[in-house]
């Protein structure tokens, strides 16, 4: 078995971070897969990268939230995915505050984008103003479909109920 040098660990970690942001946990997993099992050395090198500002769970969380909201995903799903990457709840909360996304407005625009044809039966879709659309006029079957879709996208009950 060959000894792993700290410079090899740093180079591998920098290669990973050059592609995209990674959490400490993700870096540890990927370094273990690439270089073998030496968690003490990996933690030490990841700690150095964090101290130098090259790795940051907070920066990862902020970028992740922006990317996922651009895809139309809700806060529940985003939090779940960040927790799977072992980003702390406090960091997640701070990142959500920093991003300042209006998830109620996002939920409405996602619903209109997905169900525009069905909403067009209620209102003229070409002149549709998302904020003034009255979804209360939809039948229960359509409302249930919209609600299920929004839950799968990661929106909370409060965001979904604000649609109606």
In-domain check, residue 92: yes
- pLDDT, residue 131, reads 54
In the prediction, which pLDDT does 141 show? 85
Q: What number is the average pLDDT over the span 44-58? A: 95
* Within-domain flag for 1: no
SS3 139: coil
Answer yes or no: is 119 within a domain.
yes
Give pLDDT, residue 119. 65
Q: How far apart are CA 151 and CA 145, in angstroms?
A: 10
* Same-domain pairing of 109 and 92: no
Quick check: 66 and 99 in contact, CB under 8 A? yes
Q: Answer whether 156's CB lies under 8 Å from 74's CB.
A: yes
Question: Could you tell me how many helices (H) and strands (E) the chain has, helices first?
Answer: 10, 0
Look at the block and give the residue holding tokens 């109620």: 104
- Quote the pTM value: 0.82
CB neighbour class for 118 (10 Å; exposed up to 12, middle 13-18, buried from 19) = middle
> 141-156: per-residue pLDDT in tens?
888 898 999 999 999 9
CA-based R_g, the chain, Å: 21
pLDDT digits (tens, 9 = 90+) for 64-85: 999 999 999 999 999 999 999 9
Q: How many domains does the chain have?
A: 3
Statement to judge: residues 107 and 150 lie in one domain = yes
Please answer whether residues 156 and 75 qualify as being in contact, where contact means their C-beta atoms are separated by less than 8 angstroms.
yes
CATH number of the domain at 36, please: 1.10.10
| Structure tokens that stand for 83 in this block | 């927790």
Residue 102 has a pLDDT of 93
With respect to residue 69, please indicate whether it lies within any of the assigned structural domains.
yes
Q: Is residue 76 part of a domain?
A: yes
pLDDT-based confidence at 158, cuts 50/70/90? very high
Chain mean pLDDT for the chain: 87
Domain span at residue 19 reads 6-51
Query: How sure is the predictor about 96, in pLDDT bands with cuts at 50, 70 and 90?
Result: very high
Neighbours of 148 (CB within 10 A): 11
H or E element that contains 89: helix 89-99
Residue 100 has pLDDT above 70, yes or no: yes
Whether 77 and 127 share a structural domain:
no
pLDDT, residue 140, reads: 83
> What pLDDT, on a 0 to 100 scale, did the predictor assign at position 115?
82
């Amino acid at each position: 078995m060959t000894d792993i040098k700290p410079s090899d660990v740093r180079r591998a970690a920098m290669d990973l971070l050059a592609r995209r942001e990674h959490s400490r946990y993700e870096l540890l997993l990927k370094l273990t897969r690439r270089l073998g099992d030496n968690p003490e050395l990996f933690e030490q090198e990841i700690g150095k990268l964090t101290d130098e500002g090259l790795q940051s769970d907070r920066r990862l969380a902020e970028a992740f939230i922006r990317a996922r909201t651009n895809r139309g995903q809700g806060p529940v799903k985003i939090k779940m995915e960040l927790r799977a990457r072992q980003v702390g709840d406090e960091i997640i909360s701070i990142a959500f505050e920093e991003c300042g996304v209006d998830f109620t407005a996002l939920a409405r625009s996602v619903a209109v984008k997905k169900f525009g044809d069905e909403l067009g039966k209620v209102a003229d879709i070409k002149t549709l103003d998302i904020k003034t659309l009255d979804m209360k006029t939809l039948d229960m079957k359509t409302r249930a479909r919209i609600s299920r879709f929004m839950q799968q996208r990661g929106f909370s009950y409060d965001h979904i109920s604000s649609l109606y």
